[in-house]
Structure 1
Amino acid sequence: MLKYIVKNNVKEQSAKDYLKRHENISSSLWKKIKKQDEFFLNGQKIRPTRAIVKPGDIIEYRIVEQSNVLPVNLPLTICYEDDYLLIADKPAGILTHPLTFEAENTLANAVMYHYQQTNQQIGCHPLYRLDRNTSGLVVFAKVGQIQHLLGNNHQLLKRYYLALVHGKLTMPNGTIDEPIGRSLNSIILHRVDKNGKNAITHYRTIKTYDDYSLIELNLETGRTHQIRVHMSYLNHPLLGDDLYGGKRNLISRHALHAYKLQFIHPFTHKEITIESQLPLDMQKLL
């Protein structure tokens, strides 16, 4: 049951107008609220479309969701969880979300099993996907507002990565502002393309080694393979990333880990910072 206390600085208005204007509820979520008809005003059940609210009123509603993602008992590392979202640490080698040809061995399956075991009747809503061989933090929304506010918003949800790249960068710190598009004759490969979509990556060198460097990156955009394409464009591909010119002699997958998230919680308004430890296959190279 989600709960809101109507703010003191608003006039009397319909619950619909209040929730959409002041609590960032989307039109699609309001339709779900109406359909479920589990809406309460000051503890009394009422039709959502008839509710008129004033400052200090308590709004509550419940949405029960069904999901097509199968719950599967798989290892799951939860780094943060509350009534509104869950943050899990994805290991390299598994998908974030099921595909037609791989429906059961994914991070989403593990999350749905956790929901089932804790009696949470909610859907599966990852805010973004990491590549199969990228490890690190993934946010799952439990309520529509989280997805509406934070999904694909790199200004509100700041995502930081650690990567090991070949060589030493001429400019230790910098910004790569180069559009990315799909490579010709490939459904997988992407490349820097002046006709592609806007893509901006910031990076800074943390430490250099004989043949490679440890760098931190954060994104202003979220294009497919963005970090991998941009670092290859600088002639410093990720270790292990043979798709974009990296060598696999030191590590068997591309050396990329989504290690930190920072955001202001849309409901509690607290600043949240979550970090994930670097996996052993990358640690051993430091």
Structure 2
Amino acid sequence: MILQSVVVKAVTLRQFLRNRWNFSSRLMKELAAEKKVFVDGRSRRMDYLLKENSLVTVDLGWEKNTYEAFSREIDVLYEDEGLMILNKDPLFSVHPVGGHRKDTVLNAIVYYQQRHRQNYKIRFAHRLDRDTSGALIVAKNKWMHEEISRQFRQDGVLKEYLALCHNSFSGSFVVEGKIGLSEDGIHREFRDDGKESCTQVFTLASTDERTLFKAVPQTGRTHQIRVHLASKGYPIVGDALYGVKDRAPRQMLHCHRLQFRHPLTGEIQSVQAPLKQDFLDEMEVCRLL
């Protein structure tokens, strides 16, 4: 991806990059080392003093993929030169880990790159559990990753999840509290040394035994929605870690909607990820369809 902008005030190149695109010091150092910043077509140092009406060009595409491809289709909801948003399948690990080293979302994106003649280092702006399906943002360069990740850290991204849960409820509630890792090193739980968390929860549909909730996390703690819903007596269907083991093949949690400010255009970007078939099948079994 190429960024370009005309200089309107005489400042150093470093100041211009920070003011115009909010570049971090680390990113500018890497760009300088790679000689990927140009002023009127010539590579310049970061302390170079710019003149009015000069054209600054930044090439952000120097980092390339180093992972193997995995032949599996991905569900692309949106794509442009700087990012891609997927509707992640359930039971599909995002990163190579444990017993899944080459059959992950990352490897499937490499397969997509090859078929579309693309080559960039793959960076995920956030995480989804292996079981969880839904919207997942992929940044195509370091600057895009920094900008979107910053919005996630500063709670500037609207996140809406759909959760199919045990037991019946009508209405809405808010769950707050400090969440941290339990002594077993696996579960998350409410504890004094944890980090603050907050989730707004709204009923969308319910029967005598099941409820479909919309969960809107205001913070981004690991397992936050799962812990919060279970704490109120509404464990997610299929979530054996925080609920009960049932027939569902995975936890019925889906990232349904993401809304953020696009770093390149400055406009609000909103995307919705349709429910996956296994989630719809479970809703039908529960008579919620």
TM-score (norm 2): 0.89
Equivalent AA in structure 2 for residue 21 of structure 1: N
Q: Which residue of 2 aligns with 1:71?
A: 69
Please report how far the alpha carbon of residue 68 of structure 1 lies from its aligned counterpart in structure 2 after TM superposition.
4.0
Q: In the TM superposition, what whole-angstrom CA distance separates every residue of 1:26-81 from its partner, at most 9, and x where no partner exists? A: 11111221121133223x12224354335554322224113443232221111111
Q: Are residues 283 and 234 of structure 1, via their aligned partners in 2, closer, same or farther at CA, if it must alter by over 3 Å?
A: same
Cα distance in 1, alignment partners of residues 108 and 271 from structure 2 = 20
Task: Pick from 275, 278, 288 the counterpart of residue 278 of structure 1.
Answer: 275
Task: Pick from 134, 146, 149 the counterpart of residue 148 of structure 1.
Answer: 146
Task: Pick from 228, 248, 269 the counterpart of residue 266 of structure 2.
Answer: 269
Cα distance in 2, alignment partners of residues 117 and 16 from structure 1 = 37
Please report how far the alpha carbon of residue 99 of structure 1 lies from its aligned counterpart in structure 2 after TM superposition.
1.5
Contact persistence 1:6–1:53 (CA under 8 A): no
Task: Pick from 253, 256, 259 the counterpart of residue 256 of structure 2.
Answer: 259
Q: Which residue of 1 aligns with 2:210?
A: 212
Q: Which residue of 1 aligns with 2:38?
A: 40
Is the aligned partner of 1:5 residue 2:10? no
Please report how far the alpha carbon of residue 181 of structure 1 lies from its aligned counterpart in structure 2 after TM superposition.
1.1
Contact persistence 1:38–1:45 (CA under 8 A): no
Cα distance in 2, alignment partners of residues 280 and 187 from structure 1 = 33
Contact persistence 1:124–1:141 (CA under 8 A): yes
Is the aligned partner of 1:196 residue 2:194? yes
Equivalent AA in structure 2 for residue 77 of structure 1: D
Q: Are residues 178 and 94 of structure 1, via their aligned partners in 2, closer, same or farther at CA, if it must alter by over 3 Å?
A: same
Cα distance in 1, alignment partners of residues 256 and 53 from structure 2 = 40
Cα distance in 1, alignment partners of residues 154 and 218 from structure 2 = 5
Contact persistence 1:69–1:98 (CA under 8 A): no
Please report how far the alpha carbon of residue 94 of structure 1 lies from its aligned counterpart in structure 2 after TM superposition.
1.0
Equivalent AA in structure 2 for residue 180 of structure 1: I
Q: In the TM superposition, what whole-angstrom CA distance separates every residue of 1:157-188 from its partner, at most 9, and x where no partner exists? A: 22210001111236x2122111111122x232
Is the aligned partner of 1:233 residue 2:231? yes
Q: Which residue of 2 aligns with 1:176?
A: 175
Q: Secondary structure at the match of 2:46?
A: helix
Unpaired runs of 5+ residues, structure 2, are none
Give the % identical residues: 29
Q: Are residues 147 and 256 of structure 1, via their aligned partners in 2, closer, same or farther at CA, if it must alter by over 3 Å?
A: same
Please report how far the alpha carbon of residue 234 of structure 1 lies from its aligned counterpart in structure 2 after TM superposition.
0.7
Q: Secondary structure at the match of 2:196?
A: coil
Q: Are residues 228 and 264 of structure 1, via their aligned partners in 2, closer, same or farther at CA, if it must alter by over 3 Å?
A: same
Contact persistence 1:166–1:246 (CA under 8 A): no
Contact persistence 1:97–1:129 (CA under 8 A): no
Q: Are residues 107 and 178 of structure 1, via their aligned partners in 2, closer, same or farther at CA, if it must alter by over 3 Å?
A: same
Q: Secondary structure at the match of 1:139?
A: strand
Cα distance in 1, alignment partners of residues 5 and 172 from structure 2 = 45
Q: Which residue of 2 aligns with 1:91?
A: 89
Please report how far the alpha carbon of residue 128 of structure 1 lies from its aligned counterpart in structure 2 after TM superposition.
1.3
Please report how far the alpha carbon of residue 263 of structure 1 lies from its aligned counterpart in structure 2 after TM superposition.
1.2
Q: Secondary structure at the match of 2:230?
A: helix
Q: Which residue of 2 aligns with 1:158?
A: 158
Q: Secondary structure at the match of 1:16?
A: helix
Q: Secondary structure at the match of 2:246?
A: coil
Please report how far the alpha carbon of residue 149 of structure 1 lies from its aligned counterpart in structure 2 after TM superposition.
2.2
Please report how far the alpha carbon of residue 259 of structure 1 lies from its aligned counterpart in structure 2 after TM superposition.
1.0
Unpaired runs of 5+ residues, structure 1, are none
Q: Are residues 161 and 143 of structure 1, via their aligned partners in 2, closer, same or farther at CA, if it must alter by over 3 Å?
A: same
Cα distance in 2, alignment partners of residues 148 and 201 from structure 1 = 25
Please report how far the alpha carbon of residue 154 of structure 1 lies from its aligned counterpart in structure 2 after TM superposition.
5.6
**RMSD, aligned CA:** 1.9
| Corresponding residue pairs, total | 280
Cα distance in 1, alignment partners of residues 200 and 214 from structure 2 = 8
Q: Secondary structure at the match of 2:241?
A: helix
Q: Secondary structure at the match of 1:29?
A: helix
Contact persistence 2:63–2:141 (CA under 8 A): no
